[in-house]
Structure 1
Amino acid sequence: MRIMIVGVGALGSYFGGALAEAGHDVTLLVRNHAHRAAMRENGLILHRDGTEARIPVTVVDSEAAGQAGIADIVLVFTKTGATHAVLADARPVIDETTRLVSVQNGLGNAEMLADFVPMDRIIYGTTMAPGDIVAPGVVRTHGQHVTQFCAAGTDPGTAAMADDLARMLTDAGLQTRVNPDVDRVIWAKVSFNCAMNSLCALLGRTPGPLLDDPETKALVLATIMEGCDVAAAAGVEVDRGALRDTIEMVHREHRDHKPSMLVDVENGRRTEIESLNGAVVAAGERLGVPTPRVQTLLALIHAREADYL
């Protein structure tokens, strides 16, 4: 199976590197010049729970994407605001047999991929894998995590490819499963990120210090429950007890991980707030569910972005 990874930040590098290390045919389409140059020269240096691996990877830029050949799967890791741009770069490797896969943050990712291929050729889901770019060509990850996805339509070929990809990722050390009920998982993660990502970004804290404080921990939980209320109104029942368990696991195992939104604010970049809090607020308004905490955090991130954009 020929795979192209687009949106090669921390997670795209991690997944692509793990698949390459396991012997799969993987090409990384890397837009960032420094990251691309470092991997071409030194391979990907991947730190996993205290161990280091130097992994040779195939890297191309946007102009050379077509040299990779037609892909069976294009895995999309970019932030939602850049989805159309990176898939436009990847067009030379997409034909009528290619499946697009998204495990991106936020709501509505499958619908964005459907601008490029029919919905029957889309696999969508989410991942709880953490990752940080330590330096160009150097990525760090840690702790336990699960990736879940399913075929968006009813095409048996796409379903079979989802099964194959899940096995490949799991064999490469990335625990993955096909879950037909993945919308519950997506809504759970969106609800979680509406609270954790925005508060970490606003307060300049990683999850450990944020959740050490009883007041901010209570705010996190209350904000998450607002997202769950919107999901319920949309017909998706999120396991609220499991989300509370996730908070405790993150507090324990991911204390020093920097959420991407905090990294974006620190580097003066646009965040993913619209696909998270913005999407939940819009859904809440449409469904008649109040979201005062989610909406407040949305407004505060907008104000923070206005300082540098």
Structure 2
Amino acid sequence: MVSECDLDYLILGGGAVGCIYGGLLSNSGHNVQIINRSLKTVESIKKNGLHLDLNGKKINCFPKTGQPSDAMTARVVMVFTKTYQTRNALLGVLPKMNSKTTYLSLQNGLGNGKILSDITHSNSILHGVTMLPATLLKAGHVKSKGVNTTWFGSYKSAEHNIAHSILHDLIKCDFDVSLVENPNIHIWQKACFNIALNAISALINGSPGLIGDYPGVKNIVYELAAEAIEVAKHDGIKVEIKKIYEMIDFVCTNHRYHKPSMLQDIQLERTTEIESLNGFIVERAKELNIKTPINQMITELVRARENASKFWKSSE
């Protein structure tokens, strides 16, 4: 893109979605580096490359990779880390970036654009959301089946040219991507859906199909969505309410055994994204003087569930 930078794209977070974006951009001829804190993942990609299974099509990719200390100066930093990892991940690569660097968040959850702005102090920040479903089978091996719709737009004074350049590059990689004036609508749309399903899946140790099998549990999911939608409305975000409920019904019927990321995190004894989903709703509702009792209860339960293994280990 520009000679002042070593890279076209730095992918911050070498999980499933980050690997797909980094791999396809690399195969499209761009200079790409995937940054991951896991040395095992980095060494696996260096040695064997990335192996993507996208709707049954096998693709091999060989982007640069490294840990944060190996980061090279990039024109665009695309952030895919979990929200609670964002601060440390960005601080690890920021010394290598320059005033020309643009930052783009395609993370799950709410408030990611603000986090990027607060940490980088950059005047070129984009944010958005992707519906790309992806599973990390093992280091460097990713499978995805389904649509990959992505929306992004300006959070803070991102140059018109760079946003369109990113759009062009992603379209060339066959991503279904749109540059939109108000990405918040799409960010909140997906967040309301995740707020409804993810925490419940984690708590019942089950997938959307199990939720759909129990009408009482599904009603709790609807109530979680309704509270999040109410907060969105008070913040002036016009989400498509009917579409959110249709998405819930669709996954309960058609993706019965899909494991939401929060369920995977609990099963692997990792920190979840509860704070950027249901927890965000609870805190924002307090600021708006709105009551969100179901989200409050679910947030507290997931916080406790995150620490259950540590609790039982302490008894030993």
State TM-score, norm by structure 2.
0.90
In 2, distance between residues paired with 1:40 and 1:211?
42
State the aligned residue count: 304
Residues 124-176 of structure 1: CA deviation (Å, up to 9, x unaligned): 11111121111111111111131111111335x2x321222122212212211
Match of 1:306 in 2: 307
CA contact (8 A) 1:45 1:53 kept: yes
Match of 1:276 in 2: 277
**Aligned with 2:145 (options 115, 127, 142):** 142
Match of 2:54 in 1: 48
Residue 104 of structure 2 aligns to a residue whose secondary structure is strand
Cα shift at 1:221? 1.9
Residues 188-227 of structure 1: CA deviation (Å, up to 9, x unaligned): 2222111211011111122233234333222222211110
2:78 paired with 1:75? yes
CA contact (8 A) 1:147 1:177 kept: yes
CA contact (8 A) 2:125 2:157 kept: no
Relative distance call for 1:202 and 1:30 in structure 2 (3 A) is same
Match of 1:29 in 2: 35
Match of 2:5 in 1: none
CA contact (8 A) 1:211 1:217 kept: yes
CA contact (8 A) 1:130 1:257 kept: no
In 1, distance between residues paired with 2:122 and 2:220?
37
Residue 156 of structure 2 aligns to a residue whose secondary structure is coil
Relative distance call for 1:253 and 1:26 in structure 2 (3 A) is farther
Write the letter of the residue equivalent to 2:155.
A
CA contact (8 A) 1:169 1:176 kept: yes
Relative distance call for 1:304 and 1:98 in structure 2 (3 A) is same
Match of 1:194 in 2: 195
Relative distance call for 1:36 and 1:252 in structure 2 (3 A) is farther
Match of 1:87 in 2: 90
Residues 260-302 of structure 1: CA deviation (Å, up to 9, x unaligned): 1111111111111111111101111111222121111101101
In 2, distance between residues paired with 1:235 and 1:166?
27
Cα shift at 1:252? 5.0
Report runs of 4+ in structure 1 exceeding 4 Å deviation. none
Relative distance call for 1:3 and 1:237 in structure 2 (3 A) is same
2:125 paired with 1:122? yes
Relative distance call for 1:304 and 1:108 in structure 2 (3 A) is same
Write the letter of the residue equivalent to 2:80.
F
**Aligned with 2:136 (options 130, 133, 136):** 133
Write the letter of the residue equivalent to 1:16.
G
2:215 paired with 1:214? yes
State TM-score, norm by structure 1.
0.92
RMSD: 1.7
Residues 60-96 of structure 1: CA deviation (Å, up to 9, x unaligned): 122221xx3x211000100111111111121243100
The sequence identity of aligned pairs, in percent, is 33
Residue 149 of structure 1 aligns to a residue whose secondary structure is strand
Residue 143 of structure 2 aligns to a residue whose secondary structure is strand
Write the letter of the residue equivalent to 2:27.
E
Match of 1:39 in 2: 45
The unaligned stretches of length 5 or more in structure 1 are none
Match of 1:175 in 2: 176
Write the letter of the residue equivalent to 1:83.
T
2:10 paired with 1:4? yes
Cα shift at 1:50? 2.1
Match of 1:237 in 2: 238
Cα shift at 1:253? 4.9
Cα shift at 1:233? 1.2
